[in-house]
Amino acid sequence: MKFKIAAVLATIALGLPAHADGDADKGEKEFKKCKACHAIGSPDATIVKGGATGPNLYGVTDHAAGSVEGFRYSDLLVAANAQGIEWTEENFVGYVQDPTEWLKEATGENGRGKMTYKVRKEDDAKDLYAYLSSLTE
Ligand code: HEC
């Protein structure tokens, strides 16, 4: 509930459409590629069982980069967090297609991100964003 209100307020504040332009159903299938490293778990339930190499992605589309408590992020993601970078659709879509390069450009820092996987197609990235945002609507 807290997430939902925050998302609605953010949407009003930024004047952006409430729905992402990807297809959430396709994104759910696409998420199979992320499961090896990422689980999705809300405070009350496990939505997708997955690995722990990467942070829990529940609510990721509503929060600041690098803000899952207890996860040890790379210096680049810590820098992104300190700079107030958030996972808007645009940022998310750029990041998942080339995590390290995107973080370097966005933060102006040097280093290596810990996520080695790259999503090949921009449309797949948009579908993933739609799927992940649908979980907290
Ligand atoms: C090989 C393991 C691996 C795979 C596969 C993987 N990730 Fe990641 N992901 C990570 C790691 C590790 C991090 C933390 C990166 C860092 O600290 O630089 C991360 C971070 C992220 C973040 C930032 C989260 C935050 O809390 O700021 C997002 C978003 C993300 N991944 C999305 C995805 C999506 C979507 C997929 C599937 C297309 C995917 N990842 C596949 C390992 C992976």
State residue 62's pLDDT score.
Answer: 84
pLDDT score at 21: 81
pLDDT at 87: 97
Q: Judge whether 111 and 23 are in contact, CB under 8 Å.
A: no
Domains of the chain: 2-134 (1.10.760.10)
Report the C-alpha gap between 58 and 42 in whole angstroms: 6
**20 Cα: distance to centroid of ligand 1 (angstroms):** 20
Which of 3, 35, 38, 129 to mutate to test ligand 1, by most ligand atoms within 8 A of the CB atom? 38
- Rounded to two decimals, what is the model's pTM? 0.88
The 3-class SS string of the chain reads CHHHHHHHHHHHHHCCCCCCCCCHHHHHHHHHHCCCCCCEECCCCEEECCCCCCCCCCCHHHCECCCCCCCCCCHHHHHHHHCCCECCHHHHHHHHHCHHHHHHHHHCCCCCCCCCCCCCCHHHHHHHHHHHHHCCC
CB of 33 closer than 6 angstroms to any ligand 1 atom: yes
Ligand 1 close to Cβ of residue 118 (< 6 A)? no
Give the chain's end-to-end CA distance (angstroms, integer). 9
d(CA 101, CA 134): 27
Amino acid at 10: A
At 18, which amino acid appears?
Answer: A
Residue 65 alpha carbon to ligand 1 centre in Å: 11
* Confidence at residue 137, expressed as pLDDT on a 0 to 100 scale: 78
Looking at residue 2, what is its pLDDT?
Answer: 58
What pLDDT score does 5 carry? 59
pLDDT of residue 88: 97
Question: 125 alpha carbon to ligand 1 midpoint, in Å?
Answer: 12
Atom of ligand 1 nearest to the CA of 55: 26
Per-residue model confidence (pLDDT) at position 69: 94
What does the pLDDT read at residue 94? 98
pLDDT in tens, the chain (137 residues): 556 656 555 555 554 555 558 999 999 999 999 999 999 999 999 999 999 999 999 999 989 999 999 999 999 999 999 999 999 999 999 999 999 999 999 999 999 999 999 999 999 999 999 999 999 97
